[in-house]
Amino acid sequence: MRQRHWALLLAAATFGCRHDSPATVAAELFWRYRYAFDVPYHRAGDWQGALDVMYPRDTARAKPAVVAVHGGGFVAGSKESFIPFVLPYVARGWVVINVGYRLADQAPAPAAVEDVRCALQWVGRNAAAYGIDPRRIVITGYSAGGYLALIAALLPDSAGLDSSCPGERPTPAAVASWAGIGDLPDVVQGAHWSAGPARWLGDRPDRLELARRLSPLAWVRPGVPPVVSVHGDADASVPYEHSVRLHAALTAAGTSNELVGIPRGGHGYTSASSRRAMERVIRFLERHLPSS
């Protein structure tokens, strides 16, 4: 049974943080949660977007939900690879929506942005079916996923990137970006050029203009959702200064935000620093969730 397989994966990722055996943790997860795999949420040509939903069996009261977006530099990664990152939300009884999106080889920018925005819309439409409180939806991601979480939450409808799935979508109550790109032009054609984002933008003549249009820093303004950013100050893939500048811009706009810097942290962190950072992220998110 695939849901038992997912519970085992979660248990394996959890083991070491608890005294129970993986089998015991798996049994607990299996009985506490239901699983819906590869749920279609958006079709674009021959590509069918799918997401996984992990939700408590107890649906008597609507729960907070986290929309999770994997990393991989726009060229790799999968929703399954993001399982370890959702464990803290599972521990709190939240609903988890793990999103798959088009990578660069499947479709260039802005396809991935459209996909994540469509996934948010799907969550809003299906909140009741999975016991989700639509006022208490947050979005998070790591690396490219951190960027996608930011831009999906900050981008206004007037930007015109939602023609593939028009309609209302819930505004996230908060955003948690882990090593997310804040200044897209900087990594596409700037001082911190990176192969993955450059490949995602492609060779189109207006690539730099599109990168500016898709840059989270371009859409910081009063009224956007609160943001917590986690970033290693020695990150060689996505410059730490991106999160520093985003923090400054959000503060200037009057938006509640927090920058969690990881001293000497690279693009990946030690388990100890990640756990401490996650504790601060959870506190930030819970602080900004509306009362149930």
Quick one: tokens of 197? Answer: 């984002």
- For residue 250, what are the contacts with CB-CB under 8 A and spacing of at least 6? 220, 224, 227, 256, 257
Q: Where are the beta strands (DSSP E) in 11-80?
A: 33-44, 47-56, 63-69
Quick one: tokens of 82? Answer: 């993001």
In the chain, what are the domains?
36-288 (3.40.50.1820)
Confidence of residue 116 (pLDDT cuts 50, 70, 90): very high
Give yes or no for a contact between 199 and 234, defined as CB atoms under 8 angstroms apart: no
Q: How many residues does the structure list for the chain?
A: 292
d(C-alpha 161, C-alpha 113), whole Å? 8
Q: Where are the beta strands (DSSP E) in the chain?
A: 33-44, 47-56, 63-69, 95-99, 132-142, 174-178, 227-232, 257-262
d(C-alpha 110, C-alpha 151), whole Å? 11
Q: Does the pLDDT of residue 4 top 90, yes or no?
A: no
Could you report the per-residue pLDDT of 35-94, keeping only the tens digit for each? 899 999 999 999 999 999 999 988 778 999 999 999 999 999 999 888 888 888 988 899
Percent of the chain with pLDDT over 70: 89
Residue 73 has a pLDDT of 97
Contacts by residues 102-106 (CB-CB < 8 Å, ≥ 24 positions apart)? 102/44, 102/47, 102/49, 103/72, 103/74, 103/75, 103/76, 103/77, 104/74, 104/75, 104/196, 104/199, 104/200, 104/202, 105/75, 106/47
Could you report the per-residue pLDDT of 150-182, keeping only the tens digit for each? 999 999 988 887 778 878 899 999 999 999 999
Confidence of residue 19 (pLDDT cuts 50, 70, 90): low
Q: Does the pLDDT of residue 198 top 90, yes or no?
A: yes
